[in-house]
């Protein structure tokens, strides 16, 4: 089983749609969680951190469920510019702060 698993993609949605991505992690010692977006042939860019209480940034909402070892990202009112690959990232402090990336979920927003 992979340490971090994400929904397989691609997700093809129309503009204005709401889309949700899921991510599960297997190591209960994981302590920090992030969502990154990566555009084609570019480096990943931090989208938002994920907190146990949940957090929102404009159209983006991230949630963490430690009991179920589950992370989610909700995008409301999708824009064409949201088209990218979204990466779930987990930090393992019991392994020296090692980062584990999910395989990424590709989102394509169509007009």
Partner 1 sequence: GAVVSQHPSRVICKSGTSVKIECRSLDFQATTMFWYRQFPKQSLMLMATSNEGSKATYEQGVEKDKFLINHASLTLSTLTVTSAHPEDSSFYICSATGAYNEQFFGPGTRLTVL
Q: Which residues bind partner 1 (CB under 8 A)?
A: 32, 34, 36, 41-46, 49, 87, 89, 91, 96-104
**Which residue, 20 or 46, is less far from partner 1 as judged by CB?**
46
CB of 28 to partner 1, least distance (A): 18
CB of 103 to partner 1, least distance (A): 5
Residues 81-101: b if buried by 16+ CB within 10 A, e if exposed: ebbbbbbbbbbbeeeeeeebb
**Which residue, 46 or 80, is less far from partner 1 as judged by CB?**
46
CB of 32 to partner 1, least distance (A): 5
Which residues, 6+ apart, have CB-to-CB distance to 87 below 8 Å? 6, 35, 36, 37, 38, 44, 101, 102, 104
């Amino acid at each position: 089983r992979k340490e971090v698993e994400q929904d397989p993609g691609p997700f093809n949605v129309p503009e204005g749609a709401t889309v949700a991505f899921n991510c599960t992690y297997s190591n209960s010692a994981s302590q920090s969680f992030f969502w990154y977006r990566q555009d084609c042939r570019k480096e990943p860019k931090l989208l938002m951190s994920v907190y146990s209480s949940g957090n929102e940034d404009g159209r983006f909402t991230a949630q963490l469920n430690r009991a179920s070892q589950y992370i989610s990202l909700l995008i409301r009112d999708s824009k064409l510019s949201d088209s990218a690959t979204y990466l779930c990232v987990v930090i393992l402090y019991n392994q020296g702060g090692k980062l584990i990336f999910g395989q990424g979920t590709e989102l394509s927003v169509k007009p």
